[in-house]
Structure 1
Amino acid sequence: MRHVALLRGINVGGKRLAMADLRRVAEALGWRDVATVLATGNLIFTPAHRTAEPAQLSARLEKALLADLSLQVRVVVLSAAQVEAVTREQPFGSKVDNPSRLLVSAYLDGQARPALAPLTKTDWSPGALALGTHAAYLWCPDGILDTPLVEAVTPVPLSLRPRN
């Protein structure tokens, strides 16, 4: 089964990672069909073992990046079924008229969702925050840089990605 690995904070600020290096590290783990998406820190792959859990795969990639490239980075891995669930659970429907202003934020650990729960009680108008099974959804109609919502979730372990 295909999986996607999302690396937090790659190629923003000072944390640089060549996608060729990311592919090489993943292939050294025995992962197959390895592909990256531009310079995003998004990796698509098939794990060596069909029964591998996403959390185990995340830990393996984090450890390998540190050992091979001296790069400490948080990673979340989602199975194809989990990615489909993230897409299906998007709660804002047709309200999202500009997909680049919808952030889909995969939870990096089991603490992220409970940490975000209190923020759902805040009125972020005209934006909104909703929580799904594997990701949080931040609707930022005025732009991602012009909303306090993004700043509010920054301390929470998430991997933010625009929906487009």
Structure 2
Amino acid sequence: MPSHVALLRGINVGGRGKLPMAQLRAVLESLGHRDVATYIQSGNAVFTATGRPRTTALAREIEDAIESAAGFRPPTVVLTGAELAAVSADNPFPHVTEAKQLHAGFFPGPLGRSYAAQARDAQQLAHDQGSRDEVAIDGSVVYLHTPDGLGRSRLAELLGRIKGDDGGKVLGTFRNWATVGKLLDLLDEPPG
């Protein structure tokens, strides 16, 4: 069974970052990974990593390989299957039953106090403007509940503007809860 999941940011969105999933599978296989499978066209892959590399090293390796193969470098987050299962188990919004209303944002490292404070301020501003959206942060994961849909989410827009401690953009990649569930299913499937 696959051991890791790779989540690529900005793949096949708005005509940019074009990367066919067959090419993503080929890139992962060229790195020696096995049991490679992709899910939808937005840069989701599961695979069995060769050796016991750290997830940050795997992410950089994948970014380098895609840059060589496709000419652009998508920010990538790699998680172990256990880490993705923990994201699901730790969902702070278990009352949400509509998978398209719940999203998990994956970031390459823990989000600091500054990000958390800005996210709380963003939630308050969104609420002041009539939004029902909610956000929760757990380490390097942002949980976002958008009862009126992501496309109408004022909070999602505000979260996208948060700057890191260095003043730069904080780059993560979001997946709706249905995608999180499907990736967990793929991690449980035997190869073949």
Q: Same fold (TM over 0.5)?
A: yes
CA distance in 2 between partners of 1:9 and 1:74 (Å): 8
Structure 1 gaps of 5+ residues are none
How far did 1:115 drift?
Answer: 4.7
CA distance in 2 between partners of 1:60 and 1:46 (Å): 14
The count of aligned residue pairs is: 161
CA distance in 2 between partners of 1:143 and 1:115 (Å): 26
How far did 1:104 drift?
Answer: 0.6
Corresponding position of 2:42: 40
1:25–1:68 Cα contact (<8 Å) kept = yes
AA paired with 2:137?
A: L
Answering whether residue 73 of structure 2 is matched by residue 67 of structure 1, we say no
AA paired with 2:153?
A: T
Structure 2 gaps of 5+ residues are 162-169, 179-192
How far did 1:105 drift?
Answer: 0.5
CA distance in 1 between partners of 2:112 and 2:146 (Å): 19
RMSD: 1.6
CA distance in 1 between partners of 2:4 and 2:114 (Å): 26
When normalised by structure 2's length, the TM-score is 0.78
Corresponding position of 1:117: 116
1:82–1:134 Cα contact (<8 Å) kept = no
When normalised by structure 1's length, the TM-score is 0.91
CA distance in 1 between partners of 2:148 and 2:54 (Å): 38
CA distance in 2 between partners of 1:40 and 1:22 (Å): 11
Corresponding position of 1:27: 29
Answering whether residue 59 of structure 2 is matched by residue 58 of structure 1, we say yes
1:113–1:131 Cα contact (<8 Å) kept = no
Corresponding position of 1:80: 81
1:129–1:138 Cα contact (<8 Å) kept = yes
Answering whether residue 175 of structure 2 is matched by residue 161 of structure 1, we say yes
1:35–1:43 Cα contact (<8 Å) kept = yes
Corresponding position of 1:15: 17
AA paired with 2:100?
A: S
Q: Percent identity between the aligned chains? A: 34
AA paired with 1:102?
A: L
CA distance in 2 between partners of 1:28 and 1:116 (Å): 36
Q: Which has the higher contact order (CA 8 A, sep 6+)?
A: 2
